[in-house]
Structure formats: structure tokens, C-alpha cells
Structure 1
Amino acid sequence: MNWEMVCERLNATDRWCASVDVAGVEYDSRRVGRGDVFVAMRGEATDGNRYIDAAVAQGAAAVVTDSREAYESLRRTHGGVGAALVERGRRALAEVSSAVMDHPERGLALSAVTGTNGKTTTAFLLETMLRSVGRTCVLIGTIETHVGNEVRVSQHTTPESRDILSLFADGVKAGATEAVMEMSSHALEQERVWGIPVDVAMFTNLTQDHLDYHGTMERYFAAKARLFEGVGAPPPRVAVVNLDDEYGGAIERAAAGCGEVWTYGLGNHFGWVPQFRAEDVVLGAGETSFDWKTPRGTVEMRSSLTGRVNVYNLLAASCAALARGLSLEQIAMAAEELVPVPGRFETVSNGLGITVVVDYAHTDDALRNLIALARELVGSGKVITLFGCGGDRDRTKRPRMGRAAGEGSDLVILTSDNPRSEEPMVIIEEALAGVRETGTTCIVEEDRAGAIEIAIRAARVGDIVLLAGKGHEKVQILKDGTVPFDDVAVAARVLKEIA
């Protein structure tokens, strides 16, 4: 594609249309190849404008920058390189990527899910339902990325627009017609999804998290609401909203510009009655059933997923599947075949008569729901909860997580969970304050492997051990770097040693 054609897509403050052809788009100078457009933009951690010379040295044919100083310098020193000055680098990245890749977003119907908890499970469930009727999908999320039948490693919950569009392009080549994405509040606020049209948007819930970035719950909510308003694209055709959540009504109002708003829930929370309801809910270990009441009829839903939280996840995914054209009967059949998502209430098998569960719960609300589910399943047994709090993240949720763990558990093991640049014991002390308020016995062990062993060895027949916080993660992020760590593997080793 000629650079001048690319410039036509940009709302550039100034531009130099050198007669060059462009082959690709990059925002990381280390990945630039000959003929690429390098988009230099100010980010949260660094400024891409510092790497323009490096990108040109690697063969960049053109540069888009959000810095007047960098633009003028580029024009003086690299006159043969195309140049464009823009106000918003991330928007330009999306627009240039779409043009150069020939608009792959137009070839897929995108369903996107946002919320504090449940995004990953809901996305996996919806993809499985779509695949059950023979549709080829792209899935982008926290645990992994799918392009048709190919599984790739996920680096971020929601990547930069260039990477999203590249995955979409690969999907279109593989015959995909559907895409399912988790959209984080960071990505929505930073406009990493600029210009990408969403057909079906889902809202799961909103509880305190990420205030280290957003500052207030109001700003956190506003970021989530952008999905339903459209981020550089028209509002979604269908909005699917959890009306049982206290923010559900506000999201419903934010979605007023959508073609349709579908509400779901268990019914009559906060004085609102959802259109798509789960009634006569029966919960058991590895078994969930309910009647799904919809404006199009009622169908019995059965699933091997466990717990009330998964009823909500099933409702969100089922509504989205219905919006994407599946019938009630097709959705019910798919629900029976669903399997648990890695790191989401994942049990570690053993012959000791105890239940060991690994779960990603890393907010006080998610931890409270996890413990409530464990209490339902364990009967007269004890609930032993191991958790930690992430470093360089919202400090105000640490005592809240401690209270949530202490209020529902018989024993709490407080440990480390990705301390990053902080001292682990400082984080632990802040969470411990919340546990102490409950009076529940708490054992502190900074080493997570050692803490897992303590938790499992404290269990007796009939007890349940919850290893919360890391879920599917395979590393521990420390001040000095990242080391391999897998809760499931450590728990399996301890269980084998005991056996």
C-alpha cells in the first residue's frame, strides 16, 4: 500500500507524503522490518518517540508520531521517510493497522465482554457455543488466544489494536466468521480497541479493582461503560447486561445507543427484573441446572460447571450466543458439553479425600464468591483459604481481601502473590489487618510453595483447600525478575508426597 493512501486514513495535524510503499505496521521498534510503518506514541511506561531513529535504521518506510518535536526532527534528518503528526497515537495505530491489513475487523462479527470478574469464563463459554454449531472463531483473552483450531499464548488480556487486527487477519484467512474478546477497562480507557466494531457487548459485574490505575470507582465504571457507547465505532448492535449487579442499571442506561439491550440475572435484585432469567436453580459439585426463561421461550440448562457464579457466566454467554443466531435448543445442548476453564475452580485430583481447588480469584468480591461456593459444597468440612495480594496494584483492596477470606474460612493461609517491586511482607501485613478483624486463625508464610504445603497438610478428609489468586498463571513476578510457578503443579507434588 502506498503511504499517501495510508495518510488519507489519518486525521494528521501535519504530514509528509514521501513516495514510499508500506508493507506492515509496528509500534515496537525492535520488531520493525523493511517497509513498515512505525507508530511512535507516548505510553504509560515509555515514550515510543525515543525509538524513531532505531526504527528508521531497521528499515521503516514511514513514521507516525504524536510528538511535534519528534516530527520536526524526523523531517530534518530522514527526508526520504514518510511522516505524519497526530494528536492521539493509539487511535492512529488502529487506523493505520486497519488500512494496511485491509480491514480484517470487517470480516468478523465481534462479541466482547467486560467486567471485573467472569470475563475469561464467559468468553470461553461463548466461543465453545459458537464452535458447537460449526462456526470458526478467533478468541482473545487472558489465558490464551485461539485462531481457528490454533492455540497461541496470550501476552495481555486485551492487546494493542495492531496485534488484535493481526489476529483478526489470521482468523479471516483461517475461515473465521466470529471473534470473541475480553475487553479490560485499561484497554477501553487507553483506546487499544479504537475503531473496532462490536456486534454483541456483555457486562458481567463491577467490584473494586484496578483503582491503582483508575483512581476511583466512578472512573473505573466510565471505562467499562465505553464498550457500550462505542470506542471509535458505532455502539454495539446488542448489549447483554447483568441486571443483578449494582452497576447493571447504570450500564443499561449507558447502552441506550445500542440497537437492543438484553438484561439477565436470577431475578428482582435492586428492584429490577431481567428479561433473561435463571429460575429453579440447582447447584452441586460438578453439576448445575436451571430453567432459562427468555422472551423466546424456556429451556432447561444443564452444565458440569460449579456454583452460582457460573450460572451468571452461563447466562451471559447464552444471551450472546442467542444474539449471534443460535437457537435455545442449540445453546442448551452446548451447555451440557462445556468444561471448566483452566484456573477457574480447577480441582487438583487426589485420593486423600480432600478437595483442592485452584482459582484466579484476586479481588475481595471474587474471593467471597469462591469461599461461599466452597462452603456450599463442603458440608460439615472445613474451608481452608490460601491467598495473597499483588504488588504495585490497588493497596486499598488488600484489607478487604483479608476480611473476605477471614469471614468465610475456617483457616486462612496468607502468602505472596506476584509482589513485583514491593516487599512481600509489607503487602502481607496490609492484608493481615483485614483477616485480624474477623478473628479467624491465620498462618503467614511468605514462600508460596511452602504456604501451599501448609494449607494442604492442614486439611482432613472432607475439607476443601482453596488456592486463590493465580489461577492459570505459570509464573511468580518478583522484584528481581520472573520465576516459573504453577499452583496446580505445586499442589499436585505436595499431594503426591502425602500419599
Structure 2
Amino acid sequence: MNKKALLDLINSDIASRNIITSFGTDITNITTNLQTAKPEDIVFYKVYNNGKSIDDFNKRITGRNPGLVILNHGAEAFIKNENCIFISAEKFLAVQKRLLDMMFPDKGTMKIIGVTGTNGKTTTVNLAMEISTMLGHPAISIGTIGVHDAAGTLIDDLESTTPSFVEFRKLISQYQSKYEVCFIEVSSHSLVQDRLHGLMLDGGAWTSFSQDHLDYHNSMEEYFEAKMILEKKYLKPGKSLLVPFFEKDLYKNILKNHPSAKVKIAKTLEERKYKEKPLFYHSPYNQSNVELALQLNEDLWGSDNISSIKLENIKTPLGRFSVIELDNDSMAIIDYAHTPDALLNIGKAIKEAFPGYSLTVVFGCGGNRDKTKRPLMGKAVASFADKIIVTSDNPRDEAPEDIVMDVINGISKGYEAVIDRKKAIIYALDSKRKKEIVLIAGKGHEEYQEIKGVKHAFSDFNIVQNFKNG
């Protein structure tokens, strides 16, 4: 469709426009990424009347020539670029949907399952994807570690846990003919921002609930209600929100605050007659994750073949309780745990799974995020670690030394601070003793470290493997 025909299609929604050029240009793509926009692209972008927002827009559009940029009404006061049109905020998603329905249609053939929760989303959607495929129903997972199917990685970086509405709809259009179901991580941010706009879920799960993202939500109550949007707004009629057996308090709180909510507890591994559990499932939280994954699939496909699934045959996601054996009867465990609750959970799991081992923990905390959880993370680690090494995570725009100071404010026992994460990991590995576990927490699968807006190549796995190889 050329630019003129497209403008005619949405003309009634346009509040104002700047100078429009090249009316005959064919528009073939929709995106939210201004930095990669081409003449054949429509870009949806929101900009607000503050210095940073305007500066970000100007930096991202410099050197680019998008076919059209659709911005929020009000931005025309300070955005004077050509080929910019402005629509009211309340119509923003509706216009996106209308154009996506035309250019990237959703045929409704692929089932969509949403998984929310503070911790465990990535593991649950990936286990569910693996199980569905093992049952003969090809599946994909979408979330923190990208887009995957049972054969491996399809897209390795989505920039955020839950893609934008535009990007998610394009993924549905791209994969709907090959896969029967999509398991997607649904963050609290995405629920508040309506990134599933107009989509209804064939199933949903809530993995866990503890403090996180209070830089975005004003309180734990607000954070809780953001999660509840999954059940209240997006589940298809007759579907229930699944909660793990180990999260009985969460189950009770949901019904206390929303008595009419449709929620049920997933069957446990014991109820399913699993006797032998691989090491990965010795931790209560990973057991919870696989229980949700099994129940989601049972609710989708029926119970007939679920009992055929062997836990040891399910491929587990990288960076989630990933064990690397070292010399001297010692090992490293790499895990994405980056909240106080997640650290407590993995600490307890390691202590229970490896009695008689000492435990060193290397961890940090991300910059430009909820600062109140930093001392809580320090306190959590101090409750179970035999040796503590505080280091950098993704400092982003903050000074890593300041973040480390915030973390150690919660530590009431001995610790060491090694700001450089690579040096911290090597130091921990080099000083390990016989029957010692080094837990490297916070980054898991990530292959970068974000410093001052730049993502530098960095992998906890590579550092451990290089150390192991000498």
C-alpha cells in the first residue's frame, strides 16, 4: 500500500500532520524501532514534553528516513520533522491493530498462553514449549531469552521480556503457519501498557510474587494488581489462571482480593506419580515451574499423553540453575536470579541439593532499576552464603560502586567487593576449595553487560568455561 492510500485509511484518526513527502512510496512494514527505520516503514513512537524524551527522539531519527512516523497528539508542539503524523493517545493501539490486521494478519490458528510472575516466567514458558512439542504439538516460546522452538533459537534478542504489541503481532503472523501454540512471558509492564491489545489467551499462569519493579509500580499493591490484569482482561471465558502448589499464599491473596477470579492450583509432581527427579527439579521453584508447564499442556491437549513425558528428557533453559562441573569435586552454577526472593530460593535449593558443600555467591544488582531491593538482595545472600562477593551486574547509567554500596548495606556479615565482574568471577573460581559451589547470579543467559547505554560482549558462561579450560 502506498503512503497516500495508507493516510487515507487512517485519516479520521489523524489529529495533525507535518509536511508529508513521497506520497507514492510503498509502505510494507510496521515497527516501533526508530533507529532501524527505512522509507518503507511506519514507525509508532511516543515522545513527551521533556528534554530526555525529545533528545532521544532526535538521536534515533538522525540519519534515518522512515516512510511515516506516527506519534502521540501533543508531540507536534516540539517535533517538526517531515512525515510525522499525530494521533490521540487513546487511539494509538487501535490504529496499530487496524494496520497490523491488514499487513500482518492473525489467522487465529495459533493458541497463545501467557505466563506472568516475578520469577520463573522464562523457565516455565520454555519447559511448556518443550513439553508441547514432545506431545506432538509444535510450539514456540517468547520472552527474556528471545524466541525459541524445540530445535533452538529463532530470534535471540527481543530487547524486552514481552515484545511491543506491534512486534508480538508480527511474530504471530510470522510463525502461525508452522506452530500450534505460543507460550509467552507477560511482564507487569506489558500488562499495564496493554501490549496484548485485542488478543485473548487460551491459558495463563502466575509463577510467583515478590518485590521487584517498584521503580515502575508505586507499591506492592499496584504491582499485584498489574499482574491480575492477565486474569481479568486477557483469559478467554472458561479458562483459569494456574498457580503452583508451593505458592499457596499467592493463591489465597488472589481470591482474597478478587473473590470471583478463576484460579486453580496445578497438579504436583507427586500427584503425577513422578518418583525420580533430575537435579534441576530438586529446587521447589523449578518443580513449580515444570508443574505449571505440565498443567498448561494438560489443559490444552488433554491428560492422555502427559504421563508419557519424562522429566529427564525435557531440555532446560540456559542460565537457569545451569551446573558446570569443575575440578576438585567443585562446581559453578549460573542462574538469572536477580531479586531477593529468587536468590533466597536458589540458595535454599543449592543447600538442599548439595549438603556438605560450601557456597560462594557472586552477584550484583542492575542500575536504573528499583533501588529499594538492593539491600534486600544483600540480606538474602547473607542468609545462606558461606562467602559473599559483591560485583557489577548491568550498571547501565549508574556508577557500579554506588550500586555495590547499596547492596552491602543489607549485608551483616563478612563480604568482599570486586567491582569488575570478570575479575570477581575468576577470583571466586580461583580461590574455591574442595567441595565448593560458586553461584554466579544475576545475568544467566545474557551475553552482554550494559554500561552507559552500550552493551559490551560479556558472558558468565564463557568466563567459567575459559577458566575451566585453563
Normalised by the size of structure 2, how large is the TM-score?
A: 0.85
Amino acid corresponding to residue 425 of structure 1 in structure 2: E
Query: Residue 162 in 1 paired to residue 166 in 2?
Result: yes
Query: For residues 10 and 259 of structure 2, what CA distance do their matches in structure 1 show?
Result: 34
- The corresponding residue for 1:187 is 190
Q: Say if 1:456 and 1:32 are closer, same or farther in 2 by CA, change over 3 A.
A: closer
Q: Say if 1:160 and 1:255 are closer, same or farther in 2 by CA, change over 3 A.
A: farther
Query: For residues 265 and 209 of structure 2, what CA distance do their matches in structure 1 show?
Result: 15
Deviation at 1:326, TM superposition (A): 3.9
- Equivalent runs, 1:305-316 vs 2, <5 Å: 305-306=280-281, 307-316=283-292
Query: Which one of the candidate residues 36, 40, 47 is aligned to 1:42?
Result: 47
Q: Say if 1:422 and 1:48 are closer, same or farther in 2 by CA, change over 3 A.
A: closer
Query: Which one of the candidate residues 20, 25, 29 is aligned to 2:30?
Result: 25
Q: Say if 1:451 and 1:360 are closer, same or farther in 2 by CA, change over 3 A.
A: same
- The corresponding residue for 1:127 is 129
Deviation at 1:187, TM superposition (A): 1.3
Deviation at 1:384, TM superposition (A): 1.1
What does the per-residue CA deviation read over 1:398-422, in whole Å, with 9 as the maximum and x for residues that have no partner? Answer: 1111111111111111111111111
Greater Cα shift, 365-374 or 235-244: 235-244
Deviation at 1:30, TM superposition (A): 4.3
Q: How many corresponding residue pairs?
A: 455
- Equivalent runs, 1:39-78 vs 2, <5 Å: 39-42=44-47, 46=53, 58=65, 60=67, 64-68=70-74, 70=76
- The corresponding residue for 1:463 is 436
Query: For residues 146 and 374 of structure 2, what CA distance do their matches in structure 1 show?
Result: 28
Asked if the contact 1:412–1:442 (Cα under 8 Å) also holds between the matched residues in 2, the reply is yes
**Equivalent residue of 2:440, what SS?**
strand
Deviation at 1:361, TM superposition (A): 0.6
Query: Which one of the candidate residues 244, 248, 253 is aligned to 2:251?
Result: 248
Greater Cα shift, 245-254 or 360-369: 245-254
Greater Cα shift, 460-469 or 248-257: 248-257
- Equivalent runs, 1:104-253 vs 2, <5 Å: 104=106, 106-146=108-148, 151-154=154-157, 155-173=159-177, 175-230=178-233, 237-242=239-244, 244-252=247-255
Asked if the contact 1:39–1:93 (Cα under 8 Å) also holds between the matched residues in 2, the reply is no
Query: For residues 185 and 148 of structure 1, what CA distance do their matches in structure 2 show?
Result: 27
Greater Cα shift, 196-205 or 94-103: 94-103
**Equivalent residue of 1:188, what SS?**
helix
Q: Say if 1:147 and 1:384 are closer, same or farther in 2 by CA, change over 3 A.
A: closer
- The corresponding residue for 2:403 is 427
Deviation at 1:88, TM superposition (A): 3.1
- Equivalent runs, 1:410-489 vs 2, <5 Å: 410-436=386-412, 439=413, 441-479=414-452, 481-489=454-462
**Equivalent residue of 2:129, what SS?**
helix
- The corresponding residue for 1:86 is 88
Q: Say if 1:49 and 1:491 are closer, same or farther in 2 by CA, change over 3 A.
A: closer
Amino acid corresponding to residue 123 of structure 2 in structure 1: T
Amino acid corresponding to residue 493 of structure 1 in structure 2: N
Amino acid corresponding to residue 382 of structure 1 in structure 2: S
Amino acid corresponding to residue 347 of structure 2 in structure 1: I
**Equivalent residue of 1:134, what SS?**
coil
Amino acid corresponding to residue 181 of structure 1 in structure 2: I
Q: Say if 1:105 and 1:418 are closer, same or farther in 2 by CA, change over 3 A.
A: farther
Query: Residue 291 in 1 paired to residue 296 in 2?
Result: no
- The corresponding residue for 2:468 is 495
- The corresponding residue for 1:323 is 299
Amino acid corresponding to residue 369 of structure 2 in structure 1: R
Deviation at 1:460, TM superposition (A): 1.7
Query: For residues 181 and 302 of structure 2, what CA distance do their matches in structure 1 show?
Result: 13
Greater Cα shift, 205-214 or 105-114: 105-114
Amino acid corresponding to residue 393 of structure 1 in structure 2: R
Query: For residues 148 and 94 of structure 1, what CA distance do their matches in structure 2 show?
Result: 31
What does the per-residue CA deviation read over 1:187-220, in whole Å, with 9 as the maximum and x for residues that have no partner? Answer: 1112222222211011001110111111211111
Asked if the contact 1:345–1:359 (Cα under 8 Å) also holds between the matched residues in 2, the reply is yes
Amino acid corresponding to residue 395 of structure 1 in structure 2: K
**Equivalent residue of 2:325, what SS?**
coil
Structure 1 runs not aligned, ≥5 long: 265-275, 279-289, 293-297
Asked if the contact 1:111–1:198 (Cα under 8 Å) also holds between the matched residues in 2, the reply is yes
Query: For residues 226 and 274 of structure 2, what CA distance do their matches in structure 1 show?
Result: 35
C-alpha RMSD over aligned residues: 3.4
Greater Cα shift, 365-374 or 37-46: 37-46
**Equivalent residue of 1:197, what SS?**
coil
Amino acid corresponding to residue 107 of structure 1 in structure 2: T
Q: Say if 1:168 and 1:375 are closer, same or farther in 2 by CA, change over 3 A.
A: same
Asked if the contact 1:13–1:84 (Cα under 8 Å) also holds between the matched residues in 2, the reply is yes
- Equivalent runs, 1:266-285 vs 2, <5 Å: 276=267, 278=268
Q: Say if 1:163 and 1:255 are closer, same or farther in 2 by CA, change over 3 A.
A: farther
Query: Which one of the candidate residues 274, 277, 280 is aligned to 1:300?
Result: 274
Greater Cα shift, 141-150 or 130-139: 141-150
Q: Say if 1:41 and 1:370 are closer, same or farther in 2 by CA, change over 3 A.
A: same
The percent of aligned pairs where both chains have the same amino acid is 26
Query: Residue 101 in 1 paired to residue 108 in 2?
Result: no
Q: Say if 1:133 and 1:344 are closer, same or farther in 2 by CA, change over 3 A.
A: same
Deviation at 1:443, TM superposition (A): 1.4
Deviation at 1:135, TM superposition (A): 1.9
What does the per-residue CA deviation read over 1:124-173, in whole Å, with 9 as the maximum and x for residues that have no partner? Answer: 00000111122222321111213685621122211111111111111024
Q: Which has the higher contact order (CA 8 A, sep 6+)?
A: 2
Asked if the contact 2:363–2:441 (Cα under 8 Å) also holds between the matched residues in 1, the reply is yes
Q: Say if 1:58 and 1:82 are closer, same or farther in 2 by CA, change over 3 A.
A: closer
Asked if the contact 2:333–2:438 (Cα under 8 Å) also holds between the matched residues in 1, the reply is yes
Asked if the contact 1:378–1:463 (Cα under 8 Å) also holds between the matched residues in 2, the reply is no
Query: For residues 410 and 50 of structure 1, what CA distance do their matches in structure 2 show?
Result: 48
Query: For residues 489 and 349 of structure 1, what CA distance do their matches in structure 2 show?
Result: 14
Asked if the contact 1:71–1:84 (Cα under 8 Å) also holds between the matched residues in 2, the reply is no
What does the per-residue CA deviation read over 1:76-119, in whole Å, with 9 as the maximum and x for residues that have no partner? Answer: x97xx796623236523641343223532622110110000000
Query: For residues 487 and 115 of structure 1, what CA distance do their matches in structure 2 show?
Result: 25
Asked if the contact 1:138–1:168 (Cα under 8 Å) also holds between the matched residues in 2, the reply is no
**Equivalent residue of 1:219, what SS?**
helix
Asked if the contact 1:93–1:161 (Cα under 8 Å) also holds between the matched residues in 2, the reply is no
